Amino acid sequence: MLEYHKLNDNELTDLVRKSDELAFAEIYQRYWTIMYMHALKMLKNEEDARDVIQELFTTLWSKCQSLTSSINLSGYLYTIVRNKVLDLIEQKKTRSIHLESLALYLEEHHNKTLEDLTEREMMQALDHEIGQLPGKMRVIFQMRVKEHKTYKEIAEALEISDKTVKKQVSNAIKLIKPKLSGFTGWPLLLYFLSR
């Protein structure tokens, strides 16, 4: 059986072009949090950032036939996110406030592709640290990070209280936080996870 998590982006792109839903799910899993963090940095609004990322993956699936195997997938996804953020800002007519911070952000990262940024390395480090967590805590934290579930959804799925879920996530963050302190994006990621 094909192990999608071991495939590189180009191999996954080839499979997605053939409408392989499992390859698409792997890309979604691999890039959701990274892209969400970029959208959140630009928009400063969690709900808007989630909407942008939902649109990102809807767009990716709808355009999968036109993807080429040589595409830089991370750069392609980042470009879609950036364009969707600009569209959203335009729609909300809050250009003057947001475009200033967005222009500054884009200026700082002008010549960098997503691969040059540390978010992917941070996510790999985070995956490693999650794997080191004790059993129940690891399951809860994975549901929060990988499945993007709310405290309530996790509590219902595991038949435990919201308070227990919140405490386990908080404890996991305390264990992981020192290990990620070398990455510039970790405070934003941990803020998102603790919400």
Sequence-distant (6+) residues with CB within 8 A of 188 are 37, 40, 41
Q: Is residue 59 within 8 Å of residue 16, measured between CB atoms?
A: no
Q: In terms of domains, do 67 and 160 share one?
A: no
Full pLDDT tens readout for the chain, 195 residues: 789 889 888 899 999 999 899 999 999 999 999 999 989 888 888 889 999 999 999 999 998 888 887 888 888 999 999 999 988 877 765 545 555 666 666 666 554 544 444 566 667 777 788 888 888 988 988 888 777 788 888 899 999 998 998 898 888 888 877 777 666 555 556 555 555
pTM strictly above 0.85: no
Neighbours of 117 (CB within 10 A): 18
Q: In angstroms, rounded to a whole number, what is the distance separating the alpha carbons of residues 43 and 46?
A: 8
Which CATH number does the domain housing residue 75 bear?
1.10.1740.10
Give me the pLDDT at residue 22, please.
Answer: 93
Q: Is residue 188 within 8 Å of residue 37, measured between CB atoms?
A: yes
Residue range 16-60, pLDDT digits in tens: 999 899 999 999 999 999 999 989 888 888 889 999 999 999 999
Domain that holds residue 57: 4-116
Q: In terms of domains, do 48 and 102 share one?
A: yes
In SS3 terms, the chain reads as CCCHHHCCHHHHHHHHHCCCHHHHHHHHHHHHHHHHHHHHHHHCCHHHHHHHHHHHHHHHHHCHHHCCCCCCHHHHHHHHHHHHHHHHHHHHCCHHHHHHHHHHHHHHCCCCCHHHCCHHHHHHHHHHHHHCCCHHHHHHHHHHHCCCCCHHHHHHHHCCCHHHHHHHHHHHHHHHHHHHCCCCCHHHHHHHHHC
Kindly state the tokens that stand for 147: 């499945």
Give me the pLDDT at residue 111, please.
Answer: 47
Give the count of domains, the chain.
2
Q: In terms of domains, do 128 and 153 share one?
A: yes
Give me the pLDDT at residue 171, please.
Answer: 86
Which CATH number does the domain housing residue 163 bear?
1.10.10.10
Q: In terms of domains, do 112 and 29 share one?
A: yes
Give me the pLDDT at residue 169, please.
Answer: 86
